[in-house]
A and B are shown apart, each in its own frame.
Chain A
């Protein structure tokens, strides 16, 4: 088993209100599994992804990834662990505006210590794989939405992670680009990686091996 979430709880508080983003959430994900998370806005899907990706510590419950408990690690060790084992794909891409396509993809290796000398050749392969070779010196502002998302996926895959976490990966894309992105995620899972992705799109969710639904911070199926 690659991922084991057990009894996760997470509450966001401010002076006026409290929002239960995760409520006793438990989920298991095997290697090569391609799982979609569906639910209405504000149901805790993104919180689930960030908690799974070791970015957001839960109030209670445990997370086990690759047999390790990342939240038991010191911050810098957990960051290195995250860089090595988890890839993120965002709906808004989060490409660095002052880096070109090649550099944006290569930026994923910044968190790897010691520095990965082979990353440049892997970047080239990924750019070729995602049809971005002729765009590698272009900046994000010069790319189409589909190209930006492909760049984002390439960046997520650079460190050969075990787990891909995608938050609405096709949400900003047209049908054709959305299909391409889902194909790439599928390919990753077919190669042994696990994918947990959040989507509103039922069609996109249908491409997953398994669909889990969330509502009010609770996994309902």
Chain B
């Protein structure tokens, strides 16, 4: 017998579980329970909780199992998509970083050439025909090229955003 329990507790527990307590149990055990604090506690608490369980079982309005089943399927599917999509997202981020690094490296390496090309670009595209001669002469072609590039960058950002939303 452990210091916390009575040796006859198992016997009493079994009778309580099978619903034999107190009618279908030996008189001698009933007398024991009356005198043993541990067993009387066991009987009192078990009877109260079993009665409570019996009553509580009738209360809930349960969700249909079909709805739970499909909710679980949906969650499993989403989890699987997320698992598959994670490396793809990682690869996209890596590619973008690589592109930025290469572009930055190229700018540093061939910066002067790029600047010269940018300066020549308005003339190559004959943009001077589109702008007033005063602006063209004052060397203001950069004011056209830079906003044009900024607009292109902005538009490409919008296009990427819209494409991602669509997916």
A binds B: no
B residues contacting A by CB (< 8 A) are: none
